[in-house]
Structure 1
Amino acid sequence: MKIINTYIDSVFHTQDSILEEVITSIQENGMPAISVSASSGKLLTMLVSMTGAKNILEVGALGGYSGICLARGFGSDGKLTSLELEEKYAQLAYSNLTKAGFAEQVSYMTGPALQSLEKLEQGNERFDFFFIDADKDNYENYLNYCVKLAKPDAMIVTDNVLANGSVADSNAQPKRYTELMKKFNIAVANHPQLESIIIPIGDGMTLSKVKK
């Protein structure tokens, strides 16, 4: 996977000073270097643009890298709601989204994501695009909430589903969440309200269309 992704990045990725500053800010703040890959970010932008999504929910903000990529897809009339456990992460993400020109189009809900998702459901909020990239233990719970919050034909994108290839290759170095992802992938593939496929880019992304 690493060789393939290195090749993809080398051919399709161009220098992006804004996203490079985000990576630097994450490092300077001692945050984990777990943002999506450059090509994964480009894919997010393209998916939002191609689907015409205007109301996006992101589960897991970190420093705002994926948030910028998502926001770039909806232009000047979209909205991004981002859920983040850590207040300091949300503050950095908002700062970076502001620098990227999306200050008026993004909002953050801090604290445990399941609690925030419950609030959104109680408020009858609906979204047409979702990106899940948070703690793997709750991936199935996040997915089920997203289905509840989805407009018809909404898209749900989930990151890290290949766990460095270890879900399929017994010789690959396993991740802490390898078994969780194996279970999650089966659940997604057999979910009655989803039509899904895995794209082997970055650490693997599942694209799911909500059937309603």
Structure 2
Amino acid sequence: MDNFSADQHAAAVDQYIYDALELHDPLFEAGRERAHAAGLPQIEVSAAQGKFLKLLIELLGAQRVLEVGTLGGFSTSWMARAVGPQGQVVTCEFEPLHARIATENLRQADLEQRVQINVGAAANTLGELIAQGTEPFDVIFIDADKRNNVTYLELAMDLSHAGTLIIVDNVVRGGAILQEATDAETQDPDIRGIQQTYRWLAEDPRVDATALQTVGSKGWDGLAFARVL
């Protein structure tokens, strides 16, 4: 392995963890392959990250989970398994094709009855949930277009209760968050959105937050965690 790059080493370790902890789930893996075959971006969480989300939800005893960014339903499936038959995952997806694939994947995994997929712009969906007086969520997982993270976080606060855990994915982006915004017009709006996410998490008195770097088959990235006070 001496000739491997750092990324290859990290991916190999991820594969070792995957095999050693027997994280392979035939139904979930079939769903991921179905999504890839349909042309969906291969940007879903890893199996180890999916299991991590599941364990967090179970540790909190969470029954209601909100997800922003369904994609093919891989993370959704892990979280739906975690909430149990009496729980619910409400997930937001902009692309109709992604929602259709996710629906089929959840059906094949016998989890469809635990999940409500809302198709359309997530900000609109979250606003509708607020207007409807939707019961607050125990865990909120934000994994969509990074440029709108702060919008999602602000809306998430109206869908939370004291103790809600908010998780934001992809908050390192291979170290690109170190970019200086010398020209706001030319900087990647998603990187700018992540930098704004950090400022929001640091400055909003309603949350207590941290972030952790991650490395593995998804490359060098990270997760932010915020507890609603």
3-state SS in 2 of match to 1:157: strand
Contact 1:163/1:175 (<8 A) preserved = no
Are residues 1:133 and 2:137 paired? no
Q: Residue type matched to 1:51 in 2? A: L
Distance 1:105 1:97 in 2: 9
Distance 1:144 1:5 in 2: 34
User: What residue is the counterpart of 2:195 in the other structure?
Assistant: 182
User: What residue is the counterpart of 1:153 in the other structure?
Assistant: 163
Q: Residue type matched to 2:84 in 1? A: G
Q: How does 1:90-101 map to 2 (within 5 A)?
A: 90-101=99-110
User: What residue is the counterpart of 1:74 in the other structure?
Assistant: 83
Distance 2:42 2:178 in 1: 24
Larger radius of gyration: 2
Gapped regions of structure 1 (runs ≥ 5): none
User: What residue is the counterpart of 1:58 in the other structure?
Assistant: 67
Q: Residue type matched to 1:84 in 2? A: E
Distance 1:38 1:6 in 2: 14
Residue-pair matches, total: 208
Shift, 1:74, TM fit: 1.3
Are residues 1:165 and 2:175 paired? yes
Distance 1:179 1:169 in 2: 9
Cα deviation, 1:48-77, whole Å, max 9, x if unaligned, reads 101111011111101000101111211221
Q: Residue type matched to 1:148 in 2? A: D
Q: Residue type matched to 2:61 in 1? A: G
Shift, 1:42, TM fit: 1.3
Distance 1:177 1:37 in 2: 21
Q: How does 1:35-46 map to 2 (within 5 A)?
A: 35-46=44-55
Shift, 1:168, TM fit: 4.5
Contact 1:59/1:113 (<8 A) preserved = yes
Identity of aligned residues (%): 29
Q: Residue type matched to 2:129 in 1? A: L
1:10 to 1, 5, 16: 16
User: CA 1:175–1:41 in 2, change beyond 3 Å: closer, same or farther?
Assistant: farther
Q: Residue type matched to 1:59 in 2? A: V
3-state SS in 2 of match to 1:198: strand
Q: Residue type matched to 2:89 in 1? A: L
Distance 1:10 1:169 in 2: 33
Whose relative contact order is higher, 1 or 2, with alpha carbons under 8 Å and at least 6 apart? 2
Distance 2:224 2:12 in 1: 20
3-state SS in 2 of match to 1:143: helix
Further displaced range: 15-24 or 128-137 = 15-24
User: What residue is the counterpart of 1:209 in the other structure?
Assistant: 227
Shift, 1:169, TM fit: 8.5
